[in-house]
Amino acid sequence: MWFLCELHNLLETNTENMPRLTILSDRQKGIVEGVEQNFPTAFHGFCMRHLSESFRKEFNNTLLVNYLWEAAQALTVIEFEAKLLEVEEASQDAAYWIRRIPPRLWATAYFEGQRFGHLTANIVESLNSWIGEASGLPIIQMMECIRRQLMTWFNERRETSMQWTSILVPSAERRVAEALELARTYQVLRANEAEFEVISHEGNNIVDIRNRCCLCRGWQLYGLPCAHAVAALLSCRQNVHRFTESCFTVATYRKTYSQTIHPIPDKSLWREMSEGDPSVGKEGIDVVINPPKSLRPAGRPRKRRARAEDRGRVKRVVHCSRCNQTGHFRTTCAAPI
């Protein structure tokens, strides 16, 4: 809640209009509540890796897990429902489990925002993998470890991007190249200055280059022209690269890493706090800020664990010898004499 509140304040201060974000999370309750409170208009999606792991623990069936992923990746509602029918044929319980979670939160076909094909929050996991060592350090050392890593990353990516000669970043260029290969086998019929009918062995698709959309929904969902859109654009001699989202361009990538995270001198050279600094107490003594009071008692909470031999055993019904009723003993009987 605190992090999302701070993010909201930062965006409110530094942008003219609050952006309508797309947020992916692991379904953690605190994040769901934080998004609802701070970004009520955001498109909130669940990470498919976490969702599929929960599904695997419940059913332990690789085929069903594959069906779940195929349903999540389906671009149209018709394809999505077809995949769920396959799940139902294999397991009614699995289909019920899936349908309990609103598809707009995880399925590509129903997701209302734009996430450019990202179904997981794996980028966060990759950050966690190297931040693990830093997280156990004292606060200043932890921040320094993170700063050094980011400083190195920014420099490496800035230098790498300066070597690119293409319009789009390499991953986007590869996708466009693949679409170009497929587009050469398609037949294109033009309806007007914007609408086209593209005929392929998969079927017919309608492309609208003015609104940048295709009936297959690939263009809208991934931000890059699909093969049908590429075929339509080529037929009217349009530059395919002009119809991609700006976030995929090399210029935007370079702008992202254009700023430098500067080195910081050794701690021994840091400037001492001035006497007029409000964070310093009387006679120059630092004010000690204690952690907030916690209602939770110190130590590890005790857990009541059922013994293995007691699992499945029928609970014994207690009987009161005073009033002949069940549910309590004679010593705790409150019935009138």
**173: helix, coil or strand?**
helix
Q: How far apart are CA 337 and CA 323, in angstroms?
A: 9
pLDDT at 170: 94
pLDDT at 244: 92
Which tens digit of pLDDT belongs to each residue from 182-221? 998 999 999 998 899 999 888 889 999 999 999 988 898 8
DSSP designation for 326: B
* Residue 61 CB partners (closer than 8 Å, separation 6+): 90, 91, 94
Which helix (H) or strand (E) is 148 found in, with range? Answer: helix 139-161
Whether the model clears a pTM of 0.85, i.e. scores above it, the answer is no
How distant is the alpha carbon of residue 85 from its chain centre? Answer: 27
Domain segments of the chain: what residues?
1-110, 126-163, 170-251
CA distances from 20 to 12, 108, 137, 218 (A): 12, 18, 35, 21
Residues of the chain with pLDDT under 50: 274-275, 281-282, 308-309
Which tens digit of pLDDT belongs to each residue from 61-94? 889 999 999 999 898 898 999 999 998 888 899 9
Q: In what order do the strands lie in the sheet with 195-200?
A: 187-190, 195-200, 203-208, 213-214
Q: How far apart are CA 61 and CA 59, in angstroms?
A: 6
CB-CB contact of 24 with 47 (8 Å): yes
Among 68, 74, 27, smallest CA distance to 50 is for: 27
Q: How far apart are CA 182 and CA 253, in angstroms?
A: 27
pLDDT at 312: 54
Calculate helix-pair angle for 62-73, 77-90, nearest 10 degrees: 170
Among 12, 26, 21, 16, smallest CA distance to 39 is for: 21
pLDDT at 300: 74
* Residue that the structure tokens 């916690």 belong to: 294
pLDDT at 193: 87
**147: helix, coil or strand?**
helix
